[in-house]
């Protein structure tokens, strides 16, 4: 079983009131890199189709100058969001977070860490990259999708989506939609971390979530919404 996790937006946890991010990478630092143009095109602009075809391109990208600074009043937490958005990187995580991955023996193929420097902070922090599973791997005929505006409704109206083509058509007609239940190709069920195109935030295996809760990983929030399961059909065509 998996649980959907995110970071806290509470000021008493993250220290700032913006509800979004705690740390900022300055453009002038990034521009010190000789390959800044490549960094800009890959991380700052990005292209989802190109990204899905070559996800190793991001983890293999050379970045020598990567220095961040905490916002005024921001607190150091084990999971942090940052600015500007880097395509492919969901969070900055602490050594404690990484230790949980290692203690649970999460396969190194499921994530990539890029060490960063935070001004006036000696502890180890990393950008966390998790390979994205394309939404073509979703078994739409077994999943449940509803209008996002019905999120709080006790009687949600679900769209009749039989396949990927139906989903693309839905995105054009009703772009504000969410998953109540997402069903994946079973080839992914042995993973410990799942990052899925079209679903914000990460899914972590229950045992990994419990490890992080036991180890008091700060700014970790476990969401009850969105059930993740796996189809009995071993196919990506649905």
Percent of the chain with pLDDT over 90: 78
Q: Find out whether 199 and 226 touch, Cβ atoms under 8 Å.
A: yes
Q: Where are the domains of the chain?
A: 2-130, 135-230
- Which among 73, 34, 47, 42 has a CA at the least distance from the CA of 59? 42
Span 30-72, pLDDT tens digits: 999 999 999 999 899 888 898 898 898 888 899 988 999 999 9
Span 4-35, pLDDT tens digits: 999 999 999 999 998 789 999 988 989 999 99
User: pLDDT band at residue 234, thresholds of 50, 70 and 90?
Assistant: low
Does the pLDDT value for residue 237 go beyond 80? no
């Amino acid at each position: 079983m998996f649980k959907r996790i995110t970071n806290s937006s509470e000021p008493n946890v993250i220290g700032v009131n913006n509800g979004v991010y705690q740390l900022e990478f300055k453009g002038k630092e990034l521009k010190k890199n000789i390959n800044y143009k490549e960094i800009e095109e890959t991380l700052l602009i990005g292209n989802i189709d190109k990204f899905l075809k070559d996800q190793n391109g991001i983890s293999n990208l050379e970045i020598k100058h990567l220095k961040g600074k905490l916002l005024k009043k921001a607190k150091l937490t084990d999971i942090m969001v940052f600015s500007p958005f880097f395509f492919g990187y969901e969070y900055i995580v602490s050594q404690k977070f990484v230790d949980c991955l290692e203690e649970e023996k999460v396969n190194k193929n499921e994530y990539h860490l890029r060490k960063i420097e935070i001004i006036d902070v000696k502890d180890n922090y990393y950008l966390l990259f998790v390979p994205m599973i394309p939404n073509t791997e979703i078994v739409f005929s077994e999943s449940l999708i509803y209008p996002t505006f019905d999120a709080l409704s006790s009687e949600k109206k679900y769209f009749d989506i039989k396949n990927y083509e139906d989903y693309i058509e839905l995105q054009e007609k009703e772009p504000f939609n969410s998953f109540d239940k997402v069903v994946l190709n079973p080839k992914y069920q042995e993973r410990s971390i799942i990052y899925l195109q079209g679903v914000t935030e990460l899914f972590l295996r229950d045992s990994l979530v419990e490890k992080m809760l036991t180890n008091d990983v700060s700014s970790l929030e476990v969401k009850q919404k969105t059930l993740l399961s796996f189809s009995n059909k071993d196919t990506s065509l649905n």
